[in-house]
């Protein structure tokens, strides 16, 4: 029972500090998490795969990488990508942008998302 209480307390703390947790992630661990994303995305500028390059993703508006064909849903989403919006999207992309072509189920673990965001923050600067 103590374990359940600790897990619940951790979950509540994570929910209350989502953006702060994203900034507190471990970029080294995030690089390992990114391996799941690297099948479809690159962090290198101009490199298109099944998904657009994530170079410069922070501060960019959804559906705006030149030369990449986005779903109408992603084009219309008008999301300004920052730690909070990316965290929500990465948790469950199909719920964040219904109709998106992104088939990735998401990262339910908040620590994985925080680590991934820390990695992307360093690896995708313009």
pLDDT, tens digit (0-9, with 9 covering 90-100), for 78-99? 999 999 999 999 999 999 999 9
Looking at every residue in the chain, the average pLDDT score rounds to: 85
**Confidence at 24, pLDDT banded by 50, 70, 90:** confident
User: What domain range is 80 assigned to?
Assistant: 2-123
Please state the domain count of the chain.
1
pTM greater than 0.85: no
Cα–Cα distance measured from residue 117 to residue 88, given in angstroms and rounded to the nearest whole number: 11
80 SS3 class: strand
Question: Residue 79: exposed, middle, or buried by beta-carbon count in 10 A (0-12, 13-18, 19+)?
Answer: middle
Alpha helices in 17-105 (DSSP H): 18-23, 27-34, 72-77, 83-91, 93-96
118 SS3 class: helix
Cα–Cα distance measured from residue 71 to residue 67, given in angstroms and rounded to the nearest whole number: 13
CATH number, domain with residue 73 = 1.10.760.10
Asked if the model's pLDDT at residue 16 lies above 50, the reply is: no
pLDDT, tens digit (0-9, with 9 covering 90-100), for 28-52? 999 999 999 999 999 999 999 999 9
Asked if the model's pLDDT at residue 77 lies above 90, the reply is: yes
Task: Write down the number of H helices and E strands in the chain.
Answer: 7, 0
Number of neighbours of residue 103 by Cβ within 10 angstroms: 10
Cα–Cα distance measured from residue 115 to residue 35, given in angstroms and rounded to the nearest whole number: 12
Q: What DSSP state is assigned to residue 101?
A: S
């Amino acid at each position: 029972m103590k374990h359940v209480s600790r897990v619940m307390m951790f979950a509540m703390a994570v929910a209350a500090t989502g953006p702060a947790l994203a900034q507190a992630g471990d970029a080294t661990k995030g690089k390992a998490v990114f391996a799941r994303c690297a099948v479809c995305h690159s962090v290198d500028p101009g490199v298109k795969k099944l998904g657009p390059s994530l170079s410069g993703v922070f501060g960019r508006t959804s559906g705006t990488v030149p030369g990449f064909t986005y779903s109408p849903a992603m084009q219309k989403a008008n999301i300004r990508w920052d730690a909070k919006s990316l965290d929500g999207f990465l948790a469950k992309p199909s719920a964040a942008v219904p109709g998106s072509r992104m088939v990735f189920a998401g990262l339910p673990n908040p620590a994985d998302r925080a680590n991934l965001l820390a990695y992307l923050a360093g690896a995708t600067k313009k």
